[in-house]
Structures are given as structure tokens and as C-alpha cells.
């Protein structure tokens, strides 16, 4: 079996490595903070677009009628659903109301 050789590092070498890793960690943390800020900003923009979409879809339904709404339209809505009764009558269910 081979002999285990212990590498001896000087305090100066260890200090250099610590300083190098501090720079790496600082860069990584700055990158992570920047990305988290971007995610937060995109989330706010997405929420605003979602509200606008839902409001516009309600307006469209009010003007064109529920029969003109497609499943694709409803797929993007966050607060609307339709119900179909046994007679085939379609009604809009608004969770906000």
C-alpha cells in the first residue's frame, strides 16, 4: 500500500488562496443578487400583464359575448372560468365577484 504524503501549506499560501476565494465569492454573490433582482422585476411585469389580460378578456366577453371566447383565451386567464350546464348554456364564473 502506498505511503500517505501530507502536503504542508504555508500560512502565506493559505492566505493567498483565501483571498482568491473571497474574490470569487464576492463575484458570485453579486451575480446572484443581480439575477434575483431581474427575476423580481420580471415577476412584477408579468403580474401587470396578467391583470391587463384578464381585464381585457372580461371587456371582450362583455362586448362580443361568451360564445366568442376560445379555450386558448381562457388558458391565459388567471381568474375566469366558464361553466356549461346540462342544456349547453355557457356562463362565465368570475372568481373576483
> pLDDT tens, 7-51?
668 899 899 999 999 999 999 999 999 999 999 999 999 999 999
Place of cell 454573490: 29
> pLDDT tens, 57-90?
999 999 999 889 888 998 999 888 778 888 888 7
Place of cell 500500500: 1
Task: Give 47's Cβ-side CA count (13 Å radius).
Answer: 6
DSSP string of 57-91? HHHHHHHH-GGG--HHHHHT-SSEEEEE-TT--EE
Domain boundaries, the chain: 11-94
What is the model's pTM?
0.66
Please name the helix (run of DSSP H) or strand (run of DSSP E) that holds residue 42, with its range, or none. helix 11-64
Q: Quick check: 94 and 69 in contact, CB under 8 A? A: no
pLDDT of the residue at 32 = 98
Amino acid at each position: 500500500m502506498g505511503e500517505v504524503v501530507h502536503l504542508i501549506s504555508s500560512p502565506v499560501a493559505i492566505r493567498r488562496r483565501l483571498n482568491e476565494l473571497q474574490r470569487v465569492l464576492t463575484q458570485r454573490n453579486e451575480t446572484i443578487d443581480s439575477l434575483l433582482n431581474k427575476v423580481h422585476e420580471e415577476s412584477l411585469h408579468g403580474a401587470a400583464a396578467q391583470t391587463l389580460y384578464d381585464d381585457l378578456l372580461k371587456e371582450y366577453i362583455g362586448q362580443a359575448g361568451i360564445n366568442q371566447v376560445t379555450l386558448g383565451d381562457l388558458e391565459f386567464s388567471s381568474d375566469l372560468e366558464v361553466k356549461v350546464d346540462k342544456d349547453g348554456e355557457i356562463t362565465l364564473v368570475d372568481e373576483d365577484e
